[in-house]
Chains A and B, each alone.
Chain A
Amino acid sequence: MAELNTRRESGVARVAAPIYLLLFPIPVVLFVAALLTDIAYAKSANIMWLNFSEWLIAAGLAFGVLAAIVLIVEFAASRAIRTGAVGWAHLVLFFLALVVELFSMFIHTRDGWTAVVPTGMMLSILGTLLALAAVATLFTVPVTWVVHRHVEVLP
């Protein structure tokens, strides 16, 4: 890890990393929120919660796609990520989350109860778990593309 942390990264990777860390949490939070509104709909049958879910998932996907593009740029620019298992785990989990949430959005466009119960809710749970697992990968190691700038400025 030490070797990775002190490796000089390209300029693109230096710019992309903080942008990614800014964008990535947005879809995660929106997907979690959509799961909560799904639960609220399943408990109440109040159509307002279904509309919330549909907006939250759609917005989550929009920011998710932006984040995914930046992540791809980061992968292209940073050898440190490409060669580390954690980076790949993060990418695969996050992309899977987006795919599941895309299907979830399609199901959520149905009218009424079957937009959520049972398929929409199951997809929401799965997509949220995958997104949270992608978050968890960031805790496993001091990932190079998070900290390398700080390492470099040490005397």
Chain B
Amino acid sequence: MNARTTVIAVAACVALGACQSGHDNFDKSTQYGPDPQLPEPSRALLPPMNVSKVVGWQTGETPTVPQGFRIEAIATGLSSPRNVLPLANGDLLVVESKKDGKEPLERPKRKVMDWIEAKAHGGGDKPSNRILLLRDSDGDGRPDSQSVLVDGLNAPFGIALVGDQLYVADTDAILRFPFRVGDTKVGDATKVTDLPAGAINHHWTKSLAASPDGSKLYVGVGSNSNILERGSGAELNRADILEVDPRTGAFNVFAHGLRNPNGLTFYPGSDVLWTVVNERDELGPDLVPDYMTSVKRGAFYGWPYSYWGQNVDERVRPQRPDLVKAAIKPDYGLSSHVAPLGLAFYTGASFPAQFKGGAFIGEHGSWNRPERNGYKVVFVKFENGKPVGQPIDFVTDFLKGDGARGRPVGVAVDKTGALIVADDVGNTVWRVTASATTS
């Protein structure tokens, strides 16, 4: 056993060293927007793995924001905060989340990848898998009390408030709690429906959004594999966005072929659902671009058979030309391996006018790429409900040298118009405000 693992590990390191010395000449800005450049698939001898060791934030360190903005930590020392929900009264709900358990060891590759990826995750045995309520009693934008609103959850991620009902998407179920804005306690949980989880549960974050009228819930369920290498049986109702009736728990597939959809959000003032999607790995450092897209009912977005429309993925057998033909292109490329997990449209008024209606995207950051990509919050301007232009780096410097001080996940806009960012590896919640416009 040990001998085998060692052999694989040594071999992996040798090949990794070779991979990491490679230079990346591709201009990744050509992959922003509706028509990204797609190079030929390239397959290294081994998949390049460049994960960032967690170094954490030192006292006084913060990410960087553009001139005219300021950023501060409003909660530190948390345990893997992944999502935030600002409430109308100024309270902030923070979802702390960690997936328990390891994926089954189906192939020796898993062991090596687990070993390398382990260093990219924050340690600590503090309690997680709960929802915290942060309250700002004096209205200075800085919470002064913190309490546990819901405890004992199972890797929660999605959270949505519809009237007096708080919906939470655990990794294996949608739960409903009676809750009114201003409460510091929730009522008893009711399970709305089970969600695909199981022993593998590879992409485990279940993003959640309620339709504007509150009659339907939409939940993103990521795939159980990179490109179907665990067989189709593992993918039932996965790589899908499900539409759930919150009264009965009945659901149907709203859209499919989205490898790992997160950040589900309705565009303000519309019935259009948007999502950010983590595309597939191991086709090279510049394939496949992750994307942001509006989601059309019943549409197929390619996974696993093709990407960005009709670009067939040769790794998947049997092939499905019928589905590939039907695959539609996403709206906006974000470049490859950035791992977008959070999406929020700017609905506030305190930022300059160009931000109105645009999208903030939390990019957790790459692993399958020699040069790291993502690890920041970007902003994409919208005009007439459509993304335009190139993304702007908005919250940056999560990396420090080879290490990661933090990694952004969920993003949201609070009632004052400030941007809230959950940083799971940095165990921090950040708040970005526009500084007084005196120049």
A112-B3 in contact given A47-B231, A51-B106, A107-B45 (Cβ < 8 Å) = no
Contact partner, B7, options A50, A62, A107, Cβ 8 Å: A62
B282 within 8 A of partner (CB): yes
A62 in contact with B3 given A109-B47, A111-B315, A114-B43 (CB within 8 Å): yes
Task: Say yes or no: B225 contacts A111, CB within 8 Å.
Answer: yes
Interface members, chain B 1-56 (any A CB < 8 Å): 3-4, 7-8, 11, 15, 43, 45-47
- A90 to B109: give the CA distance in the assembly, Å: 31
Segment of A5-13, A52-60, A75-83, A131-139 engaged in the interface with chain B = A52-60
Do B314 and A113 touch (CB < 8 A)? yes
> Please, which residues of chain A bring their CB within 8 A of the CB of B282?
110-111
Interface membership of B108, Cβ < 8 A = yes
Query: Contact: A113 with B317, CB < 8 Å?
Result: yes
CA distance A66 to B3 in the complex (A): 9
| Chain B, residue nearest A47 (CB) | B231
A-side contacts of B315, CB under 8 Å: 110-115
Taking CB atoms, residues of chain B closer than 8 Å to A59 are: 4
Are A45's CB and B317's CB within 8 A? yes
A90 to B: closest C-beta gap in Å: 22
Contact B4 A112, beta carbon cutoff 8 Å: no
Q: Does A125 contact B (CB under 8 A)?
A: no
- CB-based contact A58/B108 at 8 Å: yes
The residue that B228 contacts in the complex, of A61, A102, A112, A115, with Cβ under 8 A, is A112
Query: A47-B231, A110-B43, A112-B316 in contact; A55/B107 too (CB < 8 A)?
Result: yes
Contact-residue size bin, chain A (C-beta under 8 Å from the other chain): 20 to 34
Which chain A residues in 77-114 approach chain B with CB under 8 Å?
102-103, 105-107, 109-114
* In the assembled complex, A65 has its CB within 8 A of some CB on chain B: yes
Contact A113 B316 (CB under 8 A): yes
Size bin of chain B's contact surface: 20 to 34
Decide: B46 and A106 in contact? CB cutoff 8 A.
yes
What's the Cα separation between A103 and B46 when bound, in Å? 9
Do A51 and B3 touch (CB < 8 A)? no
A103 engages B316 (CB within 8 Å) = no
Q: Does B229 contact A (CB under 8 A)?
A: yes
Report which of A62, A103, A105, A112 forms a contact with B229, defined as CB distance below 8 A. A112
Q: Does the CB pair A58–B4 fall under 8 Å?
A: yes
Most buried by B among A61, A103, A106: A106
**Closest chain A residue to B317, Cβ basis:** A45
B297 within 8 Å of A (CB atoms): no
**Least distance between B228 CB and chain A CB atoms (Å):** 7
- Other A-B pairs, 20, CB within 8 Å; known A111-B315, A112-B228, A114-B43: A48-B231, A50-B229, A51-B107, A58-B4, A58-B8, A61-B7, A62-B7, A65-B7, A102-B11, A106-B15, A106-B45, A110-B282, A110-B315, A112-B227, A112-B229, A112-B315, A112-B316, A113-B315, A113-B316, A114-B314
Question: Which residues of A are in contact with B by a Cβ distance under 8 Å?
Answer: 45-48, 50-51, 54-55, 58-59, 61-62, 65-66, 102-103, 105-107, 109-115
16 contacts between A and B (CB under 8 A): A45-B317, A45-B318, A46-B231, A47-B231, A55-B107, A61-B4, A62-B4, A65-B7, A102-B11, A106-B15, A110-B47, A111-B226, A111-B229, A111-B315, A112-B317, A113-B317
